[in-house]
């Protein structure tokens, strides 16, 4: 797809200017200032390799999938299924069939809560969550607990934003059926010790659902090495299009997962008396899927593989260290989330300045950051805050981006404080 990309020839080490040249939007201006895009945890921008692949697909191979006998539909189906395999390889799945296309992380987690949790949990069973989860890894489990009589157990965080592993291990017990945990926190940047979390859950017979939305775009993920049971992620946070994401599930667990949405394409046969369902992954893909989105996600995977996730991770680690040092020097600024193991998220508050006002003033400087609770209100509650400002990094950000951010904050303080 993007095999002829310039990236393939990009010299080592990581050449950020070449990467930036792939993202047309990065040369746009906002309020007359060059865009400094630092809201990557919310969504990432798209390289032309992804945009081109989708346009090419619409122009030459597009039809509905899994239905037509005609050649175009066969070609579309092949492209859709090839994208599934690419995504599966990218995260280390054993087979293509372990990847279910969903509309994103939220749908993927709801699918597991409904289709697996609904059939396997009952009164008194326990679901372990953490205090740092995004709402999409809280609310589906609350809803499930309400339906089944299962109970939620919450692992607290420490004041640096790391997970209280002592408390986690204490909470696990014979009634723990599921552990649902973020790979990386979107509000704090904390990278959790996944292998230790997963091994401890398995030791007491629980299955583990990983919210990988903030992990996949920033480091190499290998679901088999992690040994997680389910792993959810979103295409739009990894340089792919919106409307597409994936759920990885171990084959034997997907087998035991009931359907989520009912409709066309997920059935073997339908009568008014009885409907029988297809095997995974098609059992979970009712209706016409986001076909072109899947193709675009496949192109995003190609793009990331050509750069190499190890290089992405090393580059972003350096950027995070640089940005942390810059922000630490700003008077009245407090970083929220300072765990030793972090990815490129800089959440912060400024004494006397509301994060929303700060965000508005930064926007006038061309700097896009997010201000709010980041759909992680329990995190905000932990720190006694209503909101933080958050700069979140991706592979195309530069030290200059962080210089602009750091230079704009004192201006904002002067204006607002």
As annotated, the active-site residues are: 375
Q: Is 134 in the site for ligand 7TS (CB under 6 A)?
A: yes
The number of residues in the chain equals: 417
Strands (E) across 306-360 are located at: 333-335, 345-350
Least distance from C-beta 270 to ligand 7TS, angstroms?
30
Does the N-terminal peptide bond of residue 310 adopt cis geometry, omega within 30 degrees of 0? no
CB of 190: closest distance to ligand 7TS in angstroms? Answer: 11
Token pair of 86, please? 């690419």
Which residue(s) pair with 154 in the sheet? 129
Asked whether position 397 contacts ligand 7TS by CB under 6 A, the answer is no
Least distance between ligand 7TS and beta carbon 103 (Å): 7
CA distance 197 to 215: 15
d(CA 82, CA 298): 8
Stretch that binds ligand 7TS, among 101-109, 196-204, 284-292, 319-327 (CB under 6 A): 101-109
Is 102 a binding residue for ligand 7TS by CB under 6 A? The answer is: no
Q: Which of 21, 30, 35, 42 touches ligand 7TS by CB under 6 A?
A: 42
Report the residue from 91, 182, 201, 402 that binds ligand 7TS according to the rule CB under 6 A: 182
Q: Is 110 in the site for ligand 7TS (CB under 6 A)?
A: no
Beta strands in 229-344 (DSSP E): 230-234, 245-249, 267-270, 275-277, 333-335
**Nearest-angstrom CA–CA distance, 359 and 215:** 25
- Which CB sits closer to ligand 7TS, 104 or 366? 104
Q: Which of 101, 124, 127 is nearest to 116 (CA)?
A: 127
Which of 77, 130, 136, 148: binder of ligand 7TS (CB under 6 A)?
136
> From the CB of 204, what's the least distance to ligand 7TS, in Å?
25
Residue 265 phi, psi (nearest 5)? 75, -5
Using the rule CB under 6 A, is 371 a contact of ligand 7TS? no
Of 114, 153, 283, 374, the one binding ligand 7TS by CB under 6 A: 374
Nearest residue (CB) to ligand 7TS, 242 versus 324: 242
Q: How many residues bind ligand 7TS (CB under 6 A)?
A: 17
Q: Which of residues 208-247 bind ligand 7TS (CB under 6 A)?
A: 211, 213-214, 234
192 belongs to the binding site for ligand 7TS (CB under 6 A) = no
DSSP state of 163: B
Residue of 151, 159, 107 whose CA lies nearest to 131: 159
Beta bridge partners of 211: 182, 232
The CA-based angle 302-294-218, given to 5 degrees, is 45
Question: Given candidates 41, 144, 194, 367, which one binds ligand 7TS under the rule CB under 6 A?
Answer: 41
Residues binding ligand 7TS (CB under 6 A): 41-42, 104-106, 134, 136-137, 182, 186, 211, 213-214, 234, 370, 374-375
């Amino acid at each position: 797809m993007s095999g002829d990309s310039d990236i393939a020839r990009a010299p080592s080490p990581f050449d950020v200017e070449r990467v930036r040249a792939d993202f047309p939007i990065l040369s746009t201006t906002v309020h007359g200032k060059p865009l400094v895009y630092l809201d990557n945890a919310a969504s990432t921008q798209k390289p032309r390799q992804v945009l081109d692949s989708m346009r090419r697909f619409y122009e030459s191979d597009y039809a509905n999938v899994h239905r037509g006998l005609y050649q175009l539909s066969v070609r579309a189906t092949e492209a859709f299924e090839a994208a599934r395999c690419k995504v599966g390889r990218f995260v280390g799945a054993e087979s293509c069939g372990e990847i279910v296309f969903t509309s994103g992380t939220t749908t993927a987690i709801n699918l597991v809560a409904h289709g697996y949790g609904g059939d396997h949990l009952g009164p008194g069973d326990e679901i372990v969550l953490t205090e740092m989860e995004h709402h999409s890894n809280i609310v589906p489990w609350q809803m499930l607990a309400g339906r089944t009589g299962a109970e939620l157990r919450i692992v607290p965080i420490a004041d640096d934003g790391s997970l209280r592993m002592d408390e986690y291990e204490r909470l696990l017990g014979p009634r723990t059926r599921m552990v649902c945990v973020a790979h990386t926190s979107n509000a704090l940047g904390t990278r959790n010790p996944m292998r230790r979390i997963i091994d401890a859950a398995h030791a007491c017979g629980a299955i583990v659902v990983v919210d990988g939305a903030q992990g996949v775009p920033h480091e190499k993920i290998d679901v088999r090495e992690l040994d997680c049971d389910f792993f959810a992620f979103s295409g739009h946070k990894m340089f792919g299009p919106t409307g597409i994401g994936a759920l990885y599930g171990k084959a034997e667990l997907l087998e035991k997962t009931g359907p989520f949405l009912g409709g066309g394409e997920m059935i073997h046969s339908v009568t008014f008396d009885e409907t029988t369902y297809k095997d995974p992954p098609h059992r979970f893909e009712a209706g016409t899927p986001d076909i072109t989105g899947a193709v675009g996600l496949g192109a995003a995977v190609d793009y990331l593989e050509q750069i190499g996730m190890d290089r992405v991770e090393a580059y972003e680690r350096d950027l995070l260290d640089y940005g942390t040092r810059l922000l630490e020097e700003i008077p009245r600024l407090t970083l929220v989330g300072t765990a030793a193991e972090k990815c490129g998220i800089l959440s912060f508050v400024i004494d006397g300045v509301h994060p929303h006002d700060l965000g508005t003033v930064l926007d006038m400087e061309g700097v896009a950051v997010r201000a709010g609770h980041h759909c992680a209100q329990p995190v905000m509650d932990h720190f006694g805050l209503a909101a933080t400002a958050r700069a979140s990094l991706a592979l195309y950000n530069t030290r200059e981006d962080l210089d602009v951010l750091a230079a704009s904050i004192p201006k904002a303080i002067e204006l607002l404080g």
